[in-house]
Amino acid sequence: IQLTQSPSSLSASVGDRVAIACRASQGISNYLAWYQQKPGKAPRLLMYAASTLQSGVPSRFTGSGSGTDFTLTISSLQPEDFATYYCQQLHTYPYTFGQGTKLEIK
Amino acid sequence: VQLVQSGAEVMTPGASVKVSCRASGYTFTNYYIHWVRQAPGQGLEWMGLINPSGDIKSYAQKLQGRLTVTRDTSTRTVYMELGSLTSDDTAVYYCARDAGAIWLGEKGLDFWGQGTLVTVSS
């Protein structure tokens, strides 16, 4: 199963609302997770089951979607949110990742 | 919960590398462990996983025949061995816990090791 994220990169300002899309090449129900990664660090789980917020993750992060189309939304960007975001499907082996979306400060 | 990986390795082409991932802070035998790698400047690539008892494994097709994942319950350690290395295998290798326990895949990968840089160079 291929995952295609869009956009590949995004420039935004603190306080902006941004959305990152992830499209699966076939249906994966809600077996989708989102991760945030900062340079030199391991990924951090943000969301699982497409829309369930991982413990400790701020509520400005929301996830939606089912089947083939998913979205991660950040309601009001904070300085610590500038990072690269990945989606991952855990429905069918191999558990593929999207190619990533780099979120940069405008 | 902590996953602590072994240190960086420099390998020659054609060699094999074995990276360890020692778990603590949770019931080791309840959770699957995944391996994920990231080449320099590139995205994340899922490599494979192993179940709590070590008798169920799944590997990415492109790594079949070169990748072996094992676990030692007595030392709470999971191992990833990759053989016939080429420069394309230069990457940071991560182990990660599947948060779903027996409900594999339902809750994402919640704890990650610190990463192990493997450099393949002649």
- Whole-number Å distance between alpha carbons of B122 and B116: 19
Asked if residue B104 has pLDDT above 90, the reply is: no
**Is beta strand B67-72 parallel, antiparallel or unpaired with respect to B77-82?**
antiparallel
What is the pLDDT at residue B52?
Answer: 84
- Give the number of A-B residue pairs with CB atoms closer than 8 Å: 68
B46 to A37: CB separation less than 8 angstroms, yes or no:
no
- Whole-number Å distance between alpha carbons of A19 and A67: 18
Q: Euclidean distance between the first and final Cα of chain A, in Å?
A: 33
Q: What angle do CA B19, B119, A4 make, to 5 degrees?
A: 85
Determine the residue among A31, A45, A51, A91 to mutate to test chain B binding: the one whose Cβ has the most chain B Cβ atoms within 10 Å. Answer: A45
**Which chain B residue has its CA at the smallest distance from A91's CA?**
B105
What is the pLDDT at residue B53?
Answer: 87
Buried b (16+ CB within 10 A) or exposed e, A54-66: beeeeeebebebe
Q: What are the chain A neighbours of B49 within 8 Å (beta carbons)?
A: 95
Q: Tell me if A21 sits within 8 A of A68, measured CB to CB.
A: no
In chain A, residues 64-103 whose CB comes closer than 8 Å to chain B: 86, 88, 90-91, 93-100
Render pLDDT for B80-103 as a digit per residue (tens, 0 to 9). Answer: 999 999 999 999 999 999 998 878
Render pLDDT for B15-65 as a digit per residue (tens, 0 to 9). Answer: 999 999 999 999 999 999 999 999 999 999 999 999 988 899 999 999 999
Asked if residue B106 has pLDDT above 90, the reply is: no
- Whole-number Å distance between alpha carbons of A18 and A28: 24
Nearest by CB to B105, from A44, A47, A90: name it.
A90
**What length does chain B have?**
122
Q: What are the chain A neighbours of B115 within 8 Å (beta carbons)?
A: 42
Nearest by CB to B44, from A43, A44, A49: name it.
A43
- The share of chain B scoring above pLDDT 70, in percent, equals 100
* Residues of chain A under the 70 pLDDT cut: none
Render pLDDT for A70-97 as a digit per residue (tens, 0 to 9). Answer: 999 999 999 999 999 999 999 999 999 9
- Whole-number Å distance between alpha carbons of B54 and B34: 12
What is the pLDDT at residue A71?
Answer: 98
